[in-house]
Amino acid sequence: MARESESGLPIEPVYGPAELTGWDPATKLGEPGGYPFTRGVYPTMYTGRPWTMRQYAGFGTAAESNARYRQLIAHGTTGLSVAFDLPTQMGHDSDAPLAHGEVGKVGVAVDSVEDMRVLFDGIPLDQVSTSMTINAPAALLLLLYQLVAEEQGVPADRLTGTIQNDVLKEYIARGTYIFPPAPSLRLTADIFRYCTAEIPRWNTISISGYHMAEAGASPVQEIAFTLADGVEYVRTAVAAGMDVDDFAPRLSFFFVARTTLLEEIAKFRAARRIWARVMKEEFGARNPRSLMLRFHTQTAGVQLTAQQPEVNLVRVAVQALGAVLGGTQSLHTNSFDEAIALPTERSARLALRTQQVLAYETDVTATVDPFAGSYAVERMTDDVEEAAVGLMRRIEDLGGAVAAIEQGFQKAEIERNAYRIAQETDSGERVVVGVNRFQLDEEEPYEPLRVDPAIEARQRDRLERLRAERDRTAVHAALTALKKAAGGEDNVLYPMKEALRSRATVGEVCNALREVWGSHVPSDAF
C-alpha cells in the first residue's frame, strides 16, 4: 500500500530503474526480491515490516545479562544478540588460568548448561530470535541453547536465530580461534548437517566482515574477504556431500555500517549482486533463497570516540541510516558510550530508540531501495563490485581463502589499509570530530558502567559445585565418545550434545577436541 509524504504526495512502494548508458537492468538491477538482488532480497523490503532490531548485549554473569535482555525486550527489541566473554569465546572455563581477569568483562560468562539456563530464564525461546556472537566454540553454545529449549518444552524446529560460527575471519582479523583451519571447517560442515536435520530454521553461520572492518579493512576489502570466506564454507559443505540448496538458504552475513553513507549503501548492493552470481554460476544453486545474501549490520564501533562521546549519537544515527538504505535484514546500533566502557541501560535504550526513529518517524520504510537510479550510488555500486571481485580473484590465485589465510594475505592487506587510515587521521587529512578537529579544552566527566570483579570468584564457585554434583563417570564417557567422533568421520555435534547434557563444561569439551585436533598457531608469512 502506497504511503503519503508529509505534504500529502504519494510515495510509491517501488520506483523503476533509471535507464543509464551501458546498463542492462535485467542483469544489473532487476526487481526487488529478484536476481541478482541488487535492490534487496525481498520484493517489499521494509514496506511490509521493518528490519529486526537486534540489540547486542551481554556482560558479567548470566543473571545480569538476563536482566538486560528483559529490559531490551520491554523497550521494544525484536531480537536478542548475545555477547560472550573472552574465555567463553576461546573455549576456556572461568576457572582456567588463562581466564583470569577476563571473566564477564566483554560479554557474559557461560561455562555450562546451568549458565545458559539462567541466561534465558523467563524468555520463551519459541517467541524470540536469538543471535549468538560465537565462533570457534559455536557448536557448543548452539547445543546449550537447544538443551535449554528442550527444558522449556520448545521443539528444535521452533527455534530461530543465528550463530556467527565464522572461524575463518578469526584467523584474519580477530584472533579468537581454537583449532587449525581444517578441523574448524570440518566442524562447520558438521553444524550445517546437524541443523539441516535437527534445527531447520536456524541460520547456521553469519559470515562476518564486521571484525575485519574494525581491524581496518576498507569497504571493498570487507566484502571481498567476507564473500571469499563464504565461498570456502560452501565448498567445504559441498565437498562433504551436501547439496548446496540444502544448506545455502540458511547462510547469512554480518557487515559494518560506517559514516560514509553513500559508499556503504553501494557496498551492500554490490555484495548482494556478487553473492547471487557466485552461487548461481559457480555452485549451480537452483533455489532462489540460496542466491540471497541476507545480512545483519552493526554500526561501526571503531568510529566511536571517547572524546565528546555524545557526538557518537550522531555517528550511530548516520551509520544506521546507511544500513537501512542498503537493505539490511537486522540491525544493532552501538551505544554512544561504548568507546569508554560497557553500555549503561540508558545508553542501550537510546541506541534502540535510534532504530525506532528511523523505522517509525522517517519515510525510509515507505519505498524499496530509495537510492536505485542515483547516478552516484549506481556508479559506486559498480566500482565497489569491480574492485571486490578483483580482490576475490587474487585470493583464488593464492589457492582460496584458507590458503590465503595461511599465507597471511588478508591480514597483511587489512593492516596496510589500517596504517593508511591512521596516517590520514594523525595528519588531519581525515577529520574525526572531537579528536583532531573541534576539540574541547576539557572533557566533561562521564560515569561508565563497571563490571564487578567478584564475578570471577562467583563463577569459579559455580564450577566447583557443578563438578562436585554431576555424574563424573557419565561426563568421562561422553567426552571419550566425543573424542572418538572427532578422530573419525562421524558428526561431532551428537556426542557433543550428550557431553553438554551430562554437564560437561565448555572448557572440558573444547579441551577434548584440542587433544584430537590440536590448536592453531598463526603465521605471518605473507
Query: What is residue 439's predicted lDDT score, i.e. its pLDDT?
Result: 94
- CA distances to 149, 203, 218, 254 from 222, rounded to whole Å, are 35, 21, 6, 10
What span, in angstroms and rounded, lies between the C-alpha atoms of 414 and 391? 12
Strand partners, 54: 79
8 Å CB contact between 174 and 143: no
Its sign, for the CA torsion 121, 125, 128, 129, is: positive
Give the 3-state DSSP-derived string for 175-204, with helices as H, strands as E and coil as C: CCCCCCHHHHHHHHHHHHHHHHHHCCCEEC
**Cell numbers 520463551 correspond to what residue?**
124
Q: Which of 81, 411, 388, 457 shows the shortest CA–CA distance to 231?
A: 388
8 Å CB contact between 180 and 517: yes
Task: Profile the chain (526 residues) by mean pLDDT over runs of 10 residues.
Answer: 69 63 56 94 95 84 92 85 94 97 93 97 93 96 98 97 95 93 95 96 95 96 98 96 95 96 96 98 97 97 96 98 97 94 88 97 96 90 95 98 94 95 95 95 79 89 97 98 97 98 98 96 64
Instruction: Name the DSSP letter for residue 443.
Output: P
Give the 3-state DSSP-derived string for 40-103, with helices as H, strands as E and coil as C: CCCCCHHHCCCCEEEEEECCECHHHHHHHHHHHHHCCCCEEEEEECHHHHCCCCCCCHHHCCCC
Give the 3-state DSSP-derived string for 313-344, with helices as H, strands as E and coil as C: HHHHHHHHHHHHHCCCCEEECCCCCCCCCECC
- CA distances to 151, 403, 453 from 398, rounded to whole Å, are 48, 6, 46
Report yes or no on whether pTM surpasses 0.95: no
Residue type, 263: E
Residue type, 203: N
Residues 6+ away with beta carbon under 8 Å from 45? 32, 33, 327, 368, 369
What span, in angstroms and rounded, lies between the C-alpha atoms of 101 and 348? 25
Q: Which of 154, 168, 241, 240 shows the shortest CA–CA distance to 202?
A: 154
- As a whole number of Å, the end-to-end CA separation of the chain is 55
Query: What is residue 106's predicted lDDT score, i.e. its pLDDT?
Result: 87
pLDDT tens track for 402-448? 999 999 999 999 999 999 999 999 999 999 999 999 999 888 787 77
Residue type, 37: F
Query: What is residue 22's predicted lDDT score, i.e. its pLDDT?
Result: 43
Query: What is residue 5's predicted lDDT score, i.e. its pLDDT?
Result: 67
Residue range(s) of every CATH 3.20.20.240 domain in the chain: 39-427
Element (H or E) spanning 485, and its range? helix 472-487
8 Å CB contact between 316 and 347: no
8 Å CB contact between 211 and 167: no
Q: Which of 95, 253, 246 shows the shortest CA–CA distance to 169?
A: 253
Query: What is residue 58's predicted lDDT score, i.e. its pLDDT?
Result: 79
Instruction: Name the DSSP letter for residue 474.
Output: H
How many CB atoms neighbour CB 31 within 10 A? 18
Domain boundaries 39-427, CATH class: alpha beta
**36: preceding bond cis by omega (within 30 degrees):** yes
Query: What is residue 191's predicted lDDT score, i.e. its pLDDT?
Result: 97
Residues 6+ away with beta carbon under 8 Å from 171? 177, 181, 405, 411, 520, 522
8 Å CB contact between 316 and 336: yes
- CA distances to 149, 328, 355, 402 from 78, rounded to whole Å, are 19, 15, 11, 36
**Cell numbers 575485519 correspond to what residue?**
212
What span, in angstroms and rounded, lies between the C-alpha atoms of 475 and 374? 61
Its sign, for the CA torsion 256, 106, 154, 497, is: positive
Instruction: Name the DSSP letter for residue 445.
Output: P
**Cell numbers 553513500 correspond to what residue?**
262
What span, in angstroms and rounded, lies between the C-alpha atoms of 335 and 344? 8
HSE value, Cβ hemisphere, 13 Å, CA-based, for 250: 26
8 Å CB contact between 299 and 352: no
Instruction: Name the DSSP letter for residue 305.
Output: -
